Amino acid sequence: MKDKYAIVGVGYTPQGKLPGRSSLSFHLEAGVNAIQDAGIDPKEVDGIICYRHFPPASGEKDVTPYLVAQHLGLKPTYLAQDAN
């Protein structure tokens, strides 16, 4: 599989101390920015993996890849939690 796959998009968000922002909002902003950075049609994104994560904060929902897909308006064929 050498040189068969590539990392084509990188998405950043503001980082540091940002009170009032939910974990989900960071997933979404980074995701949108990665898609824009790659310059691909969002419809082309047919897999979503949410990185291994921490317990949700009080008042926040647990971030699942399904939630990320819904908010980004994507309909992926593959969803998974926990990458490495």
**What are the residues binding other proteins (CB under 8 A)?**
1-31, 33-35, 37-40, 44-58, 60, 63, 68, 74, 76-78, 80, 82-84
For 8-19, letters b (16+ CB in 10 Å) and e give eeebeeeeeeee
CB of 70: closest distance to other proteins in angstroms? 13
| CA dist., res. 60 & res. 21, Å (int) | 10
CB of 64: closest distance to other proteins in angstroms? 11
DSSP category for residue 61: P
CB of 31: closest distance to other proteins in angstroms? 5
